[in-house]
């Protein structure tokens, strides 16, 4: 060939230790570029195809459930969908994707405080991370699973924590053996297969090759019935173990054995992959001819079944072997064959559209999550606004209540001041009348009577002043003040009236509280405007009696009466506005308002005889 190149006068190019003509080199480069272009076109073309792949179907189905759960605000349903998507990826060997969805599910389960599902997803997340050699987060998730699990599953998770965290092969082996016993009892075949595979790793670490081989074979036998994907992983682990120990024949035997399994023969893609793995063993055994035959077989199946990317991998592998053997012609022929059959292969290849559909589905999930985040953010802002508004209303209400209570307190205080003012106003009025009496005694040169009167008056005033700051005083004190007052007036008008005070024995003299000096103005009116105008001696009766829960006070006199008293007033007296009775009635109104009393006061002329009848009643107040 080199001679032909020289005769044609063509310039030679070195390629991987080989010398190729420029035309051949350009042809090979063109073919490889065309290959990439064709694959790209094929992927676009494949978008129109319908996928029957189980992985994609499962993901699509779960994404629909996820959307429904998001629309109905079913957080538990959202978490379940994320978990199931993670399971689908895990069972298909895509551990990084499974980890991503397990984390999403775990976050929601944690928020819902769903302990059984937290345990389940934490364990699966730990297994996914362990597959990716993320030991620290795997230990953390096994720990979380142990925290929320019951006794049996807690033991399994705790053993896995020891297995990953311990540097001692003996402790690891003990932890794995404990899990083997638990899983044998529970007949958990998938768990058992994992345990035997883990035990094989420890055996290899202990350089116990026969035991490692035995455990890997046990793991494979168990898993091939229950978990085909796990069986393939264990088979690959077993063949790698044989190759590392230069036991190529055993590795070939193990790989040929897996090729006879139904779960491989019924899945053309897995068959293509496993044949290529067998070829790799022959390459490591330094048997390129057998490897080339196997790669051709794998390539042929890939073309027939429409596995474009698998066919491409076989082409690359064959090209590398042809390059080593300097078989350029075979390499060129291989590329020409692949490019010629590429459109037909692409048209059959549902994996391309599966990948695209899977990508689109994941994009939809991402978009759905973004929409959910946006909705949640809008709801959060709305809630913040609502809570702020409610808070403002509450503050406004509190402010209004505070202002109202303050105004109420001010009103009460003002009323108390007014009541105190009225009470103090009574004292000068009473003093004025009493001094008139003293003046009368002095005017009549009756110094002895004047002195006696002043003595009684000072005693009365002391009692009045002592109780002037209180709205209510003990009944006994009020009674003493009234006795003293009537005694004074009797001294002033000895020939005008007699008086009598009667008290119901059922009334408590010390614990009963009554308004101070409330009765005195009525007694004063009876004497000064009724009894003193009589030509004969009159009679004044003051009665206190208990009627149910009320205190009834009756003031009765046989004076000239209200109407006759008005007639006898001088023009000067009529022009003056009397403060005594008006002051007392204002006090009654304020006492009713401030203390929620029901003080009733009725003043009438007697019907059958002359005189005035005053009736006062109010609720008993016990201190």
pLDDT at site 366:
78
pLDDT at 164 over 60: yes
Provide the 8-state DSSP code for 50.
P
For 136-145, how does the pLDDT look when each residue is reduced to its tens digit (9 = 90+)? 999 999 999 9
Q: Six-digit token pair at 183?
A: 């899983």
Q: Please state the pTM of the whole predicted model.
A: 0.54
Find the DSSP H helices in 47-93: 54-71, 75-91
The whole-angstrom separation of Cα 123 and Cα 143 is 9
- 3-state DSSP assignment of residue 540: strand
Q: Which residue has the tokens 């670490």?
A: 205
Q: Is 143 exposed, middle or buried (0-12, 13-18, 19+ CB in 10 A)?
A: middle
pLDDT score for 23: 44
Q: Compute the distance between CA of residue 324 and CA of residue 326 in angstroms, rounded to an integer.
A: 5
DSSP annotation of 599: -
Q: Where are the alpha helices (H) located in 306-349, listed in sequence order?
A: 308-324, 328-348
User: How many CB atoms neighbour CB 504 within 10 A?
Assistant: 12
Rounded to a whole number of angstroms, the distance between the first and last alpha carbons of the chain is: 131
Confidence of residue 9 (pLDDT cuts 50, 70, 90): very low
DSSP letter for 537, please: -
How is domain 469-622 classified at the architecture level of CATH?
Answer: 2-Layer Sandwich (3.30)
- Using the predicted structure, report yes or no on whether residue 44 has a pLDDT greater than 50: no
Q: For residues 360 and 171, what is the distance between their CA atoms, to the nearest angstrom?
A: 46
Confidence of residue 498 (pLDDT cuts 50, 70, 90): very high
The pLDDT score that the predictor gives to residue 309 is 86
Question: Which residue do the tokens 């397990």 mark?
Answer: 102
CA dihedral (125, 130, 135, 139) positive or negative = positive
Of 76-85, 103-112, 245-254, 410-419, least confident by mean pLDDT is: 410-419
Would you list the domain boundaries of the chain?
2-43, 469-622
Structure-model confidence comparison of residues 355 and 556, the more confident one: 556
Q: Is the pLDDT of residue 33 over 60?
A: no
C-alpha span between 306 and 214 (Å, rounded): 38
Digit-coded pLDDT (tens) for 591-608: 888 888 889 999 998 888
For the chain, what is the mean pLDDT? 82
Let me know if 88 is exposed, middle or buried by CB neighbors in 10 A (0-12, 13-18, 19+).
buried
- The packing angle between helices 135-148 and 115-131, to 10°, is 160
% helix / strand / coil in the chain, to the nearest 5?
A: 75, 10, 15
Strands 550-557 and 538-547: antiparallel
pLDDT digits (tens, 9 = 90+) for 351-369: 555 566 666 777 777 777 7
Query: d(Cα 619, Cα 598) in Å, to the nearest integer?
Result: 7
19 burial type by CB count under 10 A (0-12 exposed, 13-18 middle, 19+ buried): middle
């Amino acid at each position: 060939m080199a001679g032909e190149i020289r005769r044609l006068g063509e310039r030679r190019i070195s390629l991987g230790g080989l010398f190729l003509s420029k035309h051949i080199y350009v042809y090979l480069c063109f073919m490889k570029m065309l290959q990439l272009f064709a694959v790209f076109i094929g992927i676009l073309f494949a978008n129109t195809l319908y996928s029957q792949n189980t992985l994609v179907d499962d993901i699509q189905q779960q994404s629909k459930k996820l959307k429904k759960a998001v629309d109905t605000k079913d957080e538990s349903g959202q978490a379940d969908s994320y978990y199931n998507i993670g399971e689908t990826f895990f069972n298909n060997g895509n551990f990084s994707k499974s980890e991503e969805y397990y984390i999403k599910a775990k976050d929601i389960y944690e928020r819902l405080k769903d302990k059984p599902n937290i345990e389940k997803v934490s364990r699966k997340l730990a297994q996914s991370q362990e597959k990716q050699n993320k030991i620290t987060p795997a230990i953390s998730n096994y720990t979380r699973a142990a925290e929320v699990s019951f006794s049996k599953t807690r033991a399994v998770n705790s053993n896995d924590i020891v297995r990953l965290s311990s540097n001692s092969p003996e402790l690891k082996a003990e932890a794995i053996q404990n899990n083997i016993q638990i899983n044998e009892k529970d007949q958990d075949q998938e768990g058992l297969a994992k345990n035997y595979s883990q035990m094989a790793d420890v055996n290899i670490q202990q350089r116990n090759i026969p035991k490692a081989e035995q455990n890997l074979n046990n793991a494979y036998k168990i898993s091939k019935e229950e978990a085909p994907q796990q069986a393939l992983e264990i088979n690959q682990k077993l063949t790698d173990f044989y190759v590392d120990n230069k036991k190529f024949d055993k590795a070939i035997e193990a790989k040929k054995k897996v090729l006879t399994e139904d779960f491989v023969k019924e899945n053309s893609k897995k068959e293509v992959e496993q044949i290529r793995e067998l070829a790799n063993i022959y390459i490591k055994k330094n048997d390129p001819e057998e490897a080339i035959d196997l790669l051709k077989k794998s390539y042929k199946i890939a073309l027939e079944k429409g596995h474009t990317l698998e066919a491409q991998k076989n082409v690359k592998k064959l090209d590398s072997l042809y390059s080593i053997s300097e078989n350029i012609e075979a390499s060129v022929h291989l590329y020409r064959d692949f490019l010629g059959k590429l459109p037909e292969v692409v048209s059959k290849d549902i994996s391309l559209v599966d990948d695209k559909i899977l990508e689109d589905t994941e994009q939809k999930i991402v978009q759905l999550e973004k929409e959910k985040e946006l909705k949640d953010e809008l709801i959060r802002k709305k809630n913040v606004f609502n809570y702020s508004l409610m808070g403002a209303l509450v503050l406004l209400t509190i402010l209004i209540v505070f202002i109202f209570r303050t105004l109420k307190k001010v009103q009460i205080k003002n009323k108390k001041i007014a009541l105190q003012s009225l009470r103090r106003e009574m004292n000068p009025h009473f003093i004025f009348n009493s001094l008139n009496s003293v003046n009368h005694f002095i005017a009549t040169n009756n110094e002895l009577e004047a002195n006696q009167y002043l003595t009684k008056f000072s005693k009365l005033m002391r009692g009045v002043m002592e109780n002037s700051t209180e709205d209510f005083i003990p009944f006994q004190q009020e009674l003493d003040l009234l006795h003293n007052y009537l005694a004074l007036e009797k001294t002033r008008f000895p020939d005008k009236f007699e008086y009598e005070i009667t008290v119901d024995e059922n009334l408590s003299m010390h614990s009963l509280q009554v308004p101070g000096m409330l009765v005195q103005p009525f007694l004063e009116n009876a004497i000064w405007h009724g009894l003193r105008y009589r030509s004969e001696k009159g009679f004044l009766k003051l009665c206190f009696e208990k009627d149910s829960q009320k205190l009834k006070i009756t003031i009765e006199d046989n004076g000239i009466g209200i109407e006759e008293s008005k007639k006898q007033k001088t023009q000067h007296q009529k022009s003056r506005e009397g403060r005594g009775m008006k002051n007392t009635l204002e006090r009654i109104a304020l006492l009713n308002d401030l203390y929620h009393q029901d003080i009733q006061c009725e003043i009438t002329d007697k019907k059958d005889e002359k005189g005035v009848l005053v009736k006062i009643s109010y609720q008993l107040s016990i201190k």
